[in-house]
Chain A
Amino acid sequence: MTWRAWLPTFLVLTSVLVGALAWVRGRPVAPVDVEVLAVASPRILVAGEAYHVEAGIEVPAGRFERRFYVCVRGRCVQSGRQRLDGPAEWWGYVGTIEVPEGRHTAGVTVHARTVGPAWRPVARYEWEVVARDAR
């Protein structure tokens, strides 16, 4: 069979995969449900030095789990997950940024889920950082 003959199969498989992912993600948390209260991180920093990112979020009534991704230069690192009984605020460490000299975009993505297997990004905050030479 030629590649063209397999095209419908590809499309069906892709649809099945996307559908399965949508199903696994389960009951969504609306973006308005989780609010970013603050993100504290330097904008001007020293290249090659590690800086912590602290943040606060607020979740509505219900039982949630949260986790964070801190992304710099396309590389994302996840911090630990924690269960929250809302309505509640949570404040603390969400990740670390460390960049070479130059201008970069950093970002924090908050993921939340209700009880179940499905994580969903619910908020994202981005900022520009400028790293100067360490010398």
Chain B
Amino acid sequence: MTRGDGLALLAAVAATLATAAAIDRGAALPPVDAARVAAAPPAPCPTAEPVLTGALDAPVPLPAGDEIGLYTDAALRFPACGPGRLRLAARGGRSGDHGAHLVVTVRDRVLWDGEVRERRELALDVPVAGWVTIAFVNDLYRPPVDRNLYLDDVAFVPTPAGP
């Protein structure tokens, strides 16, 4: 076997392994159908109080009527059993160059996506049933800068069913 043949062999093996690695990372997997992402919660579907998830061992119920401080990246989530209106108030803490970034989603739809500094009251239409997430995604702790997000008055009012 000549040196050229050996290199060709190595190239074939490397190409095979690279393809396998790409498949292993999911590169060859077609995107999930958006309609399947965050499908509606299973019936029966009582719209539950939001719970906190993220860098925690277990979900924590959101205290009703109280402000909750997110001191690390985390998300509130709850199942919306149908369309409705989500109300919440948010404010960002000391944030350095940028404010706390809040993302609100249902299924594959983004309902709110932006920075929050001063207190801001939001009223968002939730057009479909599905898991609603309220996420703080850019925590920063670099003393004396400490970027946090504070939420209160989180409430979901379902749209009344038609006659």
* A residues neighboring B (CB under 8 Å): 1-3, 6, 9-10, 13-14, 17-18, 21, 31, 35-46, 49-54, 56, 69, 71, 76, 91-93, 107, 109, 111, 119, 121, 123-127, 134
Contact = CB atoms under 8 A, between A and B. Distances in A.
B20 A125 contact: no
B21 to A, nearest CB: 10
Interface stretch (B10-18, B84-92, B118-126, B150-158): B10-18
A38 B25 contact: no
Chain A interface, >50% SS class = strand
Contact of B38 (A36, A42, A44): A36
Interface of B: 1-2, 4-5, 8-9, 12-13, 16-17, 20, 23-26, 29-32, 36-39, 53-55, 59, 73-75, 77, 97-98, 101, 103, 105-108, 110, 113-114, 130-133, 135, 137-139
Q: What 6 A-B pairs come out closest when comparing CB atoms?
A: A109-B26, A121-B26, A40-B135, A52-B73, A91-B53, A40-B133
